């Protein structure tokens, strides 16, 4: 049984480690008893951002991200510590497919507000770094 805790407008259940997978699968906000694992909207959420994030030992290390817009799960394949590896195993959502990324990529998805914005941002960076003009990409001559 989970203990329901109200934090202002948000309600977050305090759960056992064995309950984490179920809560993650159903994208429910939670924290464990010693608050080393928690799931919620990111603290820097802004209008239009629709993500569910599970963190281990703070907001610097997301272990799972669900993007409601793309309907995709992302998991962190970086290793940090034995305890964080246990969190990753116990909180893994019971879903068919997870896209595995590193910590930096997951944090960028969160910062950008979702996978679509992350991809758009990456394309802009790549185009800028290569000094490629978008009009040239779409031209019939293929000038780049």
What tokens were used for 52? 């569910």
Confidence category of residue 3, pLDDT binned at 50, 70, 90: very low
Q: Does 54 or 41 have the greater pLDDT score? A: 54
- Any domain includes 129: no
Average pLDDT over the chain reads 81
Residue 137 counted as domain residue:
no
Number of domains in the chain: 1
26-30, 97-101, 112-116, 126-130 — which is least confidently predicted?
126-130
Note whether residue 86 is domain-resident.
yes
Task: Report pLDDT for 28.
Answer: 92
Q: Does residue 139 lie within any of the structural domains? A: no
CA dihedral for 84, 89, 94, 100, sign (positive or negative): positive
Range of the domain at 80: 3-113
């Amino acid at each position: 049984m989970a203990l329901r805790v109200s934090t202002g407008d948000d309600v977050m259940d305090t759960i056992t480690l064995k309950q984490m997978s179920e809560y993650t699968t159903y994208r429910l906000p939670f924290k464990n008893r010693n608050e080393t694992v928690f799931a919620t909207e990111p603290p820097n959420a802004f209008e239009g951002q629709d993500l569910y994030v599970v963190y281990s030992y703070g907001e610097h290390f997301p272990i799972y991200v669900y993007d409601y817009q793309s309907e995709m799960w992302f998991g962190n394949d970086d290793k940090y510590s034995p305890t964080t590896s246990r969190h990753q195993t116990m909180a893994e959502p019971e879903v068919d497919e997870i896209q595995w990324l590193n910590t930096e990529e997951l944090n960028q998805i969160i910062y950008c507000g979702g996978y679509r914005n992350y991809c758009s941002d990456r394309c802009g960076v790549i185009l800028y770094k290569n000094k490629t003009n978008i009009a040239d990409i779409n031209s019939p001559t293929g000038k780049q």
